[in-house]
Amino acid sequence: MNPVQDPAAAPEPHGSPPSAEPHPIPVAVSGVTKRFGTVRALGGVTLEFPAGQVTALMGENGAGKSTLLKILTGDHQPTEGAVVVNGKPLALDSPARARAAGIRIIPQEPEIIPHVSVAENVYAGALPRTRGRLLDRAGLNRRIKADLDRLGFAHVLDPALLGSQLTPAQRQLVEIMRALTGGTTARLIAFDEPTSSLSEREVDALFTLIRRLRDEGIAIVYVSHRMREIFQLADRIAVLRDGSLVGVQDAGATHEGELVRRMVGRDLSAAFVRQRVAVERLVLDVQDLTTDDVTGISLQVRAGEVVGLAGLIGAGRSELALALAGDAPIHSGSVTLDGTPLRSGRPGEVIRAGLGLAPEERKAQALFLRQSIKDNTSLVVLDRLRRFRFVRRAAERRLAQEYTDRLRVRAPSIDHEVGKLSGGNQQKVVLARWLARKPKVLVLDEPTRGIDVGAKSEIYRIIADLAAQGVALLVISSELPELLGLADRVVVMQGGRITGELDRGDATEESILQLAMADDIVGPAPGASS
């Protein structure tokens, strides 16, 4: 997202000023097909985005949502068909043209320049300047104040804050301000999974804002995997599958089950419920563990048990997971794994003792994107695959093949680069790595984040199988229905401490949220996510 805001660079299409009588269908796509080589990413999609309505775009990963958004924003050009703006087909051959036509996107990961102020971030690329071509600070301040007041963000966004000081929600506000200020009026704003790093309260505020924008007559496109949000927000729901539009319906005329069926093309029980297995001996015993980020954590996980770890963003769940994996210094307390006390700061020692972590950010923390599925899978078992320090290559291939088959990783071969796989398949490669290691304890941090419905249910099945085989599992998830379906017990964290523990019978979304917001601490939301 390049916030070029120079209206002169890309003239207003067809000379119709956006301030004129708004067109009822400001933006639409007509018969849009997009091919990449021989692969068809979109096939003949015709879809209108009416003014003053929220159109939700749903579909599994790879269904064509991203491609459609990129065509709207001028990043891709359609192979056939066109984007229609105010009733007239328009060649959006660059992001600047799309911007000039009033089409804006709020990307999933806001692009914020860390060392400059909010004001400079908002107007980056079109900063006001004096006649001597110096930055016009006074003008900048006037402008940001005016825009903050106009948009009603004045109380939530201090224009003097630096990019690096912003919370995820504030970062999103900066992107929204970029979309709403500048040369031309926005006709359509697309939100690409905006809530994935927001807390519940921030989500509410975002929704209020989106509704306001909608009521001002802007066409909203909303992309999300979260059903509940879709039904809270959307007026119309469009479902894509394998690059084709399955259908558009009014949100009131459909329900979750039907949408899932349309997305995957098959019936799928939306709520996964794992069968309980006989819980055995104590495997993971954490006593009064304190690190930089968590305080006085005591929890136990037994063989065959799935313990859910719930909490809001910033509750310290991921920090706890990393500490268990040996990646944070332990100040006090102990972690005992199957009778073996673990020292801190040594992930290798923890792995040898039998604990594996599938971390939250799979691309940044777990995967080697330019290496093959085989190399990614075998990395933590090389010590078992070597003879004198030489890796037994045939055995390595067999092992990688076995686990990628077992987890149904969809790829041409185990030599395929991991960076070219979809999110769900990447997550399966991370799981394959740990399954190959046969750990006693597996910690899964947001195992289904950003993964489509079909892959999610496969991950649930894998978790259930592991528990049935006697692995002790600690699962962190921000999706409460998922946690309720999987876990035998739910441990709730808040502010780096455990605030409560609920048995499967007592755990409901409400009871968990109550514990997660126990003290309702209002403070600066930590930049680190949980």
Nearer to other proteins, 256 or 383 (CB): 383
Q: Binding residues for other proteins, how many (CB under 8 A)?
A: 69
Name the helix (H) or strand (E) containing 341. strand 340-341
Applying CB under 8 A, which of residues 169, 366, 471, 475 lies at the interface with other proteins?
A: 366
- Region binding other proteins by CB under 8 A among candidate stretches 19-27, 139-147, 250-258, 389-397: 389-397
Residue 26 engages other proteins in binding (rule: CB under 8 A): no
Separation of alpha carbons 324 and 332, rounded Å: 13
Tokens encoding 466? 């592991």
Residue 385 binds to other proteins (criterion: CB under 8 A): yes
Surface-to-core class of residue 348, CB atoms within 10 Å of its CB (0-12 exposed, 13-18 middle, 19+ buried): exposed
Q: Which of 193, 186, 164, 33 is nearest to 104 (CA)?
A: 186
Our CB check for other proteins shows the closer of 236 and 374 to be 374
Least Å from the CB of residue 67 to other proteins? 8
| Backbone torsion region of residue 501, taken as left when φ is above 0, otherwise alpha when ψ lies between -120 and 50, otherwise beta | beta
413: contact with other proteins by CB under 8 A: yes
**Taking CB under 8 A as the criterion, which residues in 312-331 touch other proteins?**
322, 325, 327
Residue type, 60: E
Query: Which DSSP symbol is given to 199?
Result: -
Least Å from the CB of residue 298 to other proteins: 24
Tell me the backbone φ, ψ of residue 149, rounded to 5 degrees: -65, -45
Q: Where are the alpha helices (DSSP H) in 5-136?
A: 65-72, 95-100, 118-122
Smallest distance from other proteins to CB 415, Å: 4
x/- site string to other proteins, residues 187 to 226, per CB under 8 A? ----------------------------------------
User: What backbone torsions phi and psi does residue 40 show, to the nearest 5 degrees?
Assistant: -95, 110
| 370 forms part of the interface with other proteins (CB under 8 A) | yes
Instruction: Give least dist CB 179 to other proteins, A.
Output: 16
From 10-18, 119-127, 422-430, 464-472, span contacting other proteins (CB under 8 A): 422-430
The least distance separating other proteins from the CB of residue 442, rounded to whole angstroms, comes to 14
Q: Rounded distance, CA 79 to CA 97, Å?
A: 18
Q: How far is CA 179 from CA 157, 185, 201, 494, in A?
A: 16, 9, 23, 34
Q: What's at 168, amino acid-wise?
A: P
Contact set for other proteins, span 40-69 (CB under 8 A) = 41, 60-62, 66-67
Q: Is residue 365 involved in binding other proteins (CB under 8 A)?
A: yes
Extended beta strands in 201-323, E state: 219-223, 236-241, 244-250, 282-290, 297-302, 306-310
* Shortest separation between residue 178's beta carbon and other proteins, angstroms: 15
Please name which of 114, 86, 102 lies closest in space to residue 26, comparing C-alpha atoms.
86
Tell me: does residue 368 bind other proteins (CB under 8 A): yes
Determine the length of the chain: 530
Q: From the list 143, 187, 416, 440, which residue makes contact with other proteins (rule: CB under 8 A)?
A: 416
Which C-beta is closer to other proteins: that of 73 or that of 117?
A: 73
- Residue 39 binds to other proteins (criterion: CB under 8 A): yes
User: Rule CB under 8 A: which residues touch other proteins?
Assistant: 2, 36-39, 41, 60-62, 66-67, 70, 75, 94-96, 242-243, 322, 325, 327, 347-352, 357, 359, 364-372, 374-375, 378-380, 382-383, 385-386, 389-391, 393, 397, 410, 412-417, 420-425, 433, 452, 454-455
